[in-house]
Structure 1
Amino acid sequence: MSEGSKRRLKLWIRLLGVTRRAENDLREYLRVTHDTTLPRFDVMAALYRRREAMTMSDLSRMLLVSNGNATVVVDRLESDGLARRTPSDSDRRTVFVALTPEGLAAFESLAAGHESEVARIFARLDDGDVDVMTEILKRAEQG
């Protein structure tokens, strides 16, 4: 293994460590502060971004999870009055899901706290660091 490939492997391990720590911190923050879960937050975020109803299949694809996993979260959101399902007029196998007005308001509150928590997690990085890291990660994504 070359020195360059060893360094890249160490980088990969460091990226995983930072990601896992940040994700664990966010999970704990959402659980303790908002009595919710990261998967629930992710589903609400996807529905919030879209604003219009989307199929459960589209939601699952967007989140890279199974239909079953998305369904469990949407079931809970619906029972809490934060989401609603609507059957398709043209295909009875298709169900659309969207946030209710209460769901939109609840997500806006969650999102503000989430943003503040992400800022806290990465507070040791100044704006220049964030810009440089963002540019580097964009290049890495292009693989």
Structure 2
Amino acid sequence: MTSGSGTSAAVTKPETAKLSKQRLRLWLRLLRATRSVEGELRERLRKDFDATLPRFDVLAALHRCQDGMTMTELSRFLMVSNGNVTGIIDRLVLEGLVVRVPDKKDRRATFVRLTPKGVTAFGEMAEAHEGWVDGLLSEVSAEEAADLISLLSRFNETQRSR
């Protein structure tokens, strides 16, 4: 061979295949870890608060945006359909945790926000949730957590720009 490109291609192809397999293993490990933690959180929310993870997610989103969100904003933020959010909001309204407020500028839109009772209920759940996650990830050091957060943040930025 007179060109180094033939040798380079022969070396690159197996390395590329190996990297591809490694990335697949990474994805499967991430998925398994996520499902494991999520399953445990679902069970604990159900057992300790008679709540679901989607319900917790709705309360968390509303807690972040104290002025309220439209149903469309909430659906987009949670990446679920309006129909999914509507059922959860209906139940939260009946329990007095959330209130619907008409938008003064757009009569077709309605804001939803936490009531004081909702703020208190979510606060209790959020505190327990944080403790559960801390316990479930207790084998991860501060340095490892920082490294993982950095890597996953970079990955998420790359995915958003596609």
Same fold (TM over 0.5): yes
Structure number with higher relative contact order (C-alpha < 8 Å, ≥ 6 residues apart): 1
Match of 1:57 in 2: 72
Task: State the shift of 1:141 in Å.
Answer: 2.0
Distance 1:54 1:14 in 2: 35
Match of 1:87 in 2: 102
Asked if 1:105 corresponds to 2:123, the answer is no
User: Following superposition of structure 1 onto structure 2, how do residues 1-143 of structure 1 map, counting pairs within 5 Å?
Assistant: 2-143=17-158
Sequence identity of aligned pairs in percent? 46
State the superposition RMSD in angstroms. Answer: 1.1
TM normalised by structure 2 equals: 0.85
The structure having more radius of gyration, on CA atoms, is: 2
AA partner of residue 58 (structure 1)? E
Structure 2 residue ranges without an equivalent (≥5): 1-15
Distance 2:155 2:107 in 1: 43
Distance 1:103 1:138 in 2: 31
For 1:104-129, what per-residue CA distance to the aligned partner results, in whole angstroms no more than 9, with x for missing partners? 11111110000000001101111111
Distance 2:140 2:68 in 1: 37
Structure 1 residue ranges without an equivalent (≥5): none
SS of match in other structure, 1:86: strand
Distance 1:55 1:49 in 2: 13
Distance 2:147 2:70 in 1: 37
TM normalised by structure 1 equals: 0.95
Q: Number of aligned residue pairs: give it.
A: 143
Distance 1:54 1:135 in 2: 29
